[in-house]
Structure 1
């Protein structure tokens, strides 16, 4: 992580990682709205949207997931390097892939924060926003992260958000507090 001295109008990439239906995208869009209302330049690079465009050619095997995050990480790094606060809600199940994105940011002197949206798989399966858990149970889907494909929990994230104990607004406030604490926003 690169911490900027004092309050600044500098960019940062905030990678929100967690299981499918953990609440990553909801939190990202709530924070983005608050940041825009405060006059900040902000982008949300949602993993699902990126899969339909930037990474439409990729599969969901380990290599495809790694390449997907590499592409999104590159885009986020360029935006953050140019003063944008970039919120990246993606599953990003593998530590190696997340570490590669962090390294790229570090090498370019660009700020990077990792946030683990820590929602138990049982809660994610109840939410099942996209119907993935139902498809997996019905045998229509394999390789679901946290069920039959691994999710490597971040070892030292900059923030852990346990969404089962908080509302989406409270979770967004935790992330806003981190951005203030790290002096990316006032």
Structure 2
């Protein structure tokens, strides 16, 4: 049963690392990542709410094509609003969409800050940054929640892998 595994959470929450670890654990899937798609397919988009919605729409359309062609797809995108995730679910199909909330508090994401983006946003040099001056609406009823503040990202990856395997999603 091919699914789209949709990882959502703040910048620095661990979404990309978890996706990479799933790949290393042997998950046979196509991996779509926000940073990578913003360099190509979505490079014409900025970070307004409208552009963020268009970014997610494009990704959802691509992910839908993969599952229609028999490939599991792992998507790691902030996808900051309930509306953006709901749109993705509608495009992909609710029955094919597995929402995974990478629940990492803002304070921990700021400490990780691998690209220095939170510092730039707090200084006013980076506008519309999720969690600082742009909203992040945590999912209300995700299928799976990873608490990446009580355990390591590697442990979270294994926990997600075990869940996906048990549910026969991978």
Cα RMSD for the two superposed structures:
1.3
Aligned-residue offset at 1:43: 1.2
The total of aligned residue pairs comes to: 170
Counterpart in the other structure of 1:12: 3
Q: Which runs of 5+ in 2 are unaligned?
A: none
Aligned-residue offset at 1:174: 1.7
Q: Are 2:2 and 2:70, in contact at CA under 8 Å, matched by a contact in 1?
A: yes
Q: 2:83 aligns with which of 96, 120, 125?
A: 96
- Pick which of 90-99 and 27-36 moved more: 27-36
Residue 69 of structure 1 pairs with residue 49 of structure 2: no
Provide the C-alpha distance between the structure 2 equivalents of 1:173 and 1:133, rounded to a whole number of angstroms.
28
Q: Which runs of 4+ in 1 moved over 3 A?
A: none
Scaled by the length of structure 1, what TM-score is found? 0.87
Aligned-residue offset at 1:137: 2.2
Counterpart in the other structure of 2:71: 84
Counterpart in the other structure of 1:49: 36
**How do residues 66-145 of structure 1 correspond to structure 2 at under 5 angstroms?**
66-106=53-93, 111-145=96-130
Provide the C-alpha distance between the structure 2 equivalents of 1:172 and 1:80, rounded to a whole number of angstroms.
22
Q: Which runs of 5+ in 1 are unaligned?
A: 1-9
Residue 162 of structure 1 pairs with residue 153 of structure 2: no
